[in-house]
Structure 1
C-alpha cells in the first residue's frame, strides 16, 4: 500500500495537538465535503413517530449516487460538481453546507485548503474532474461526458499507483461502442442521479477520498487468487468481496494503512 500523504498523516496522528484533534473529531464531515458521490438509501422515518431518542433506520442496502458534472441552473454545486463548477470560490462552496444552520462551524478553513491541495496533487479522480473543469472553461460547446472505466485492459491492483488513463476520460458526443456495462457515464448536465455499481473499482474511492487519497482501485470481480499450488483444494478462483476487504483492513508490520488510521471515518 502507498504511504499516507504527509498532510493527511499529520492530521490523523493524535500526537499532533489541537489541529489533529479538530480534524479527527470532524473527519466524517471533511470526507463528505470532498466525496464525489452521495449516499443513497431508503430511510424509514416511521420509527421516530413516538417520543424517544432519534433513530436512523435504513431499509435495504446503502448505495452511492452520482449526478452530472455541472449543477442545474439556480442550484448550488454538490459533491463531484465542486471539483468542476465555480472553483474560484471552492473553499467557501465546500464549507457552505456546514454553516447554513449556524453562525459558526467547527470545521477549519485552513484544513480544508490543505486537504484540497493534497487531493489536487495526489488523487487521480480529482485530476480527472479538474480536466472536466478546464473543458467547461475553454470550449463553447458542452456536449461531452466523463467516462469512468469499469473494466481495465490489464490487472490493476489496489496497491498500484493509479493513473488517469486507467480511470477514464472525457468523451465528446456519443459514447457509442466504447461503452462497457460497468462504466460510469457522467453527463455534463442532468437533473437526475445515477446509482453507481458496487462492483466498479472506484466505488469506495469516490465516496471516501480521505481513506483512498490516491483514488486507488477497490474491489473488482476479476481479482484472482495468487497461485500457491492450492488449485485442487480451493473452490474459488476469484477473490470474493468479503475476503478482499478483510485483506485490505488487516494490519501488517511496516505497512502504512490509511484506512485503519481513519478513526471515526473507518468505523
Structure 2
C-alpha cells in the first residue's frame, strides 16, 4: 500500500508528545488518529519481520526479537508430541470440508457438546462483536457424577453413558442448537473409540457395584515403567481406583457413581485440560502437573528441576518445523484455551508464595514485585 510517509504525517500532528523517543514517536497515539492513507507497515516498530528464527533445540519458529528460551527453556523442556486428530476432525479444522466454515465458526459449541466438566468464571465479558474471549477474576472447572440422579437429565460427562448413540447425539444437539447432528455423531464415535479418559470412566462404571462407590483419579500418577515424555494409553489401575470412603488427596478428582454434588477440578490436575477441551486433546492426553521434570539439553536425561506451568503451555502453543499443531488450528476454541491456561499459570505462580509473603504484599511492605501477581489481589481482565 502506498501513501503519505507515516513519519511526516505524524510530525505534523501537534498531539505528539515531545518527550517520546524517536523510535516510538511516529506511532505515539496513532490509534487515536488512524489515517488509512498512511502506510503503517513500513514503520520498524510494526514490521516485526517473518517467523524465520528456528530454535536449535525444539525447532520452534519465532520472530527475530522473541526471547530465545520462550519455546523450550533453551532445550530444558521436552513434552509429549500431540498426535494429529483422526477424520473428520482433522479435515474440519483444516478447512478442507464443505462444512468446515460452519464447524470453525461454532467450534466452541461443538467442544461444549463433548466436554466432561462445566466451565465457569467470576465474570465472562461478552461485548457485542468482540472477537476475543475475555474473563475477569477466577476460572473454575467442575465435575459431576458419572450417572444422573433419579428423574434428572444427562449432562456433561453423563451423556457418554446413555447407552444409545442416537439418544446421546440428540441430547448434545438439544443443548447446543448451532450444531449439526451429523457432525456431532461423527465426532462422538471417534471420541468413544480414541479418548482414554472416556474408556477409563466406562471401566469405572463396570466396577462400581453401588452408588456408594466413587472413582478416584490421581493427580500426578505416572504409569509405571513408561517414559514420562511419551504418551501411552494407561491401564485403569495405573491412574485410577474405585473406592468407598474418603481415602483421597486434595488435588485428586473423586467422582461419585450417582450424585447431585459437583467437585471443583484442581488447576494442577493432569486431566484438567482434557476434560474441558476434548476436541483439542482427543486422546485424553495429560495437561500440566507438578511432576514433569526438565531435561539436560546435552544428555536428554531428566534433572531434578520441574517444568513450570508457563514453560509447559509456552511449549504447547509454539509453531514448529514439519509439525502440525492441531491446537493452533482451532481458532476461537484455541483463544478460550489460551485464556484458561494463562489463568492456570497465574494460579500456580501464586501457589508458590508463602502465606507471610502474601500478607506482606497486601500490607504494602513489599514494593516493585513483578515476579508473581494474582487476580485476587489485582482485579483485571485478561484476553487473547
1:224 is matched with: 293
Q: How many residues align?
A: 245
Partner of 1:266: 334
**C-alpha separation in 1, matches of 2:238 and 2:115:** 17
Counterpart pick for 1:190 among 237, 259, 262: 259
Structural RMSD (CA): 2.8
Deviations 1:162-203 (A, max 9, x none): 324377445153353xx3332201012222211110100110
The aligned residue for residue 91 of structure 2 is: 10
Distance (Å, rounded) in 1 between the aligned partners of 2:93 and 2:237:
29
Task: Give the TM-score taking structure 2 as reference length.
Answer: 0.57
Q: Distance in 2 between matches of 1:79 and 1:123?
A: 15
User: Which residue among 132, 155, 162 is the counterpart of 2:233?
Assistant: 162
| Structure 1 residues 134-153: Cα deviation after superposition (integer angstroms, max 9, x where no partner) | 567xx5x3332122121224
Tell me how far 1:31 sits from its aligned partner. Answer: 0.3
| Superimposed CA distance per residue, residues 201-222 of structure 1 (whole angstroms, 9 cap, x where no aligned partner) | 1100000000000000011111
Q: What is the SS of the residue equivalent to 1:15?
A: coil
Identify which range, 243-252 or 58-67, moves more after superposition. Answer: 58-67
1:42 equivalenced with 2:114 (yes/no): no
Given the superposition, is the C-alpha separation of residues 157 and 40 from structure 1 closer, same or farther in structure 2, using an over 3 Å criterion? farther
Q: Which has the larger radius of gyration?
A: 2
Match in the other structure for 2:156: 79
Unaligned runs of 5+ in 2: 1-80, 336-384
Which residue in the other structure is 1:207 paired with?
A: 276
Select the residue among 31, 49, 53 that pairs with 2:111: 31
Name which structure has the greater RCO, CA cutoff 8 Å, separation 6+.
1
Could you give the per-residue CA deviations for residues 12-55 of structure 1, whole angstroms, max 9, x where no partner exists? Answer: 111322x11121111100100100000122238xx99xxx9599
Specify which of 134, 142, 159 is matched with residue 65 of structure 1. Answer: 142
Aligned to 1:129: 201
1:115-150 per-position Cα deviation (integer Å, ceiling 9, x unaligned): 0111011100111223345567xx5x3332122121
